[in-house]
Structure 1
């Protein structure tokens, strides 16, 4: 417990940094998207490339916001689960709620 708190204090915990395994489905999907973007860029004129750049940047913003919200929701769910586990008066009909 102390180690994770120290890492948190020193900003050594960065949940948004992820490493993709080279043989993962995620890596293959990222490679496909990258290849399609390169091919599309070659087909477009300057205005089209500008629009494509704006589109991809906007999608990255959406993805980043979604990832943040999902992280927060997951963290809150974890805290609620822990709080529920600590509740001794949770309706257990056994004496004192203990086994």
Structure 2
């Protein structure tokens, strides 16, 4: 391993240890599909919100808050499962056995 890679790996492990790793925090490119769809969603939300009564706006906000919480939960669960799948793959690579080879 190259010395620069060792330093980077040590820094990442240190960040992980101190809780400085936030897996879902990424910058989004302004020209990406995600950014474009986010803008479209906000425009649709604003258009709908203008048509609603105060009680309906509150209901819409509750629905979008719950959808956000569900999305966060699913992202966390997917991250955890991906981490487990990767660990399982590494263990298999390191300690797995072949039926045909020694």
Task: State the TM-score, normalizing by the size of structure 1.
Answer: 0.88
Q: Any runs of at least 4 consecutive aligned residues in structure 1 with deviations exceeding 2 A, and if so which?
A: none
Indicate whether 1:32 and 2:40 are aligned.
yes
Among candidates 91, 94, 97, match of residue 83 of structure 1: 91
State the 1:23 CA deviation: 0.4
Q: SS at the partner of 2:30?
A: coil
Match runs of 1:10-89 below 5 Å: 10-87=18-95
Per-residue CA deviations over 1:67-97 (Å, capped at 9, x if unaligned) read 0000001000000000000015x12523x3x
Bigger RCO (CA 8 Å, 6+ sep): 2
Q: Which runs of 5+ in 2 are unaligned?
A: 1-8
Task: State the TM-score, normalizing by the size of structure 2.
Answer: 0.86
Measured in 1, the distance between the counterparts of 2:83 and 2:94 equals 17
Indicate whether 1:93 and 2:100 are aligned.
yes
Q: Which runs of 5+ in 1 are unaligned?
A: none
